[in-house]
Structure 1
């Protein structure tokens, strides 16, 4: 996923269909410098993690 699109999704009040390794996730924030995002699975908000932007897929 491109950095700008990830930032748009993170800032939007509308839920986007984004997956990481096949699991639907919520993007909390984006770090442009490191090209990563803080995410968590929709059904497990306690499993927050930092992942590379290129690993996120918008459907």
Structure 2
């Protein structure tokens, strides 16, 4: 996924189906300068962390 699409998903009021390494996630914030996204697994909102945007997959 590219930074622009990740940013669109993060700001969308609709829930999109996005995964990181096969795990459904929610995108909280995108740092376009560094190509990173702040995410958490849908089933574990306390497990927040940053990952490269290009590791995210939209289904």
User: TM-score scaled to structure 1, two decimals?
Assistant: 0.98
> Could you say what the CA RMSD is over the residues aligned between the two structures, in angstroms?
0.4
Tell whether 2:44 aligns with 1:49.
no
> Once the 2 structures are TM-superposed, how far is the Cα of residue 2 of structure 1 from its aligned partner?
0.7
Give the 4+ runs in structure 1 shifted more than 3 A: none
Q: Secondary structure, in 3 states, of the residue corresponding to 2:26?
A: strand
Q: Secondary structure, in 3 states, of the residue corresponding to 1:27?
A: strand
CA distance in 2, matches of 1:39, 1:55: 11
Q: Mind listing any 5+ residue stretches in structure 2 that lack a counterpart? A: none
How many aligned residue pairs are there? 59
User: TM-score scaled to structure 2, two decimals?
Assistant: 0.98
Q: Secondary structure, in 3 states, of the residue corresponding to 1:25?
A: strand
Q: Mind listing any 5+ residue stretches in structure 1 that lack a counterpart? A: none
Structure-2 residue corresponding to 1:3: 3
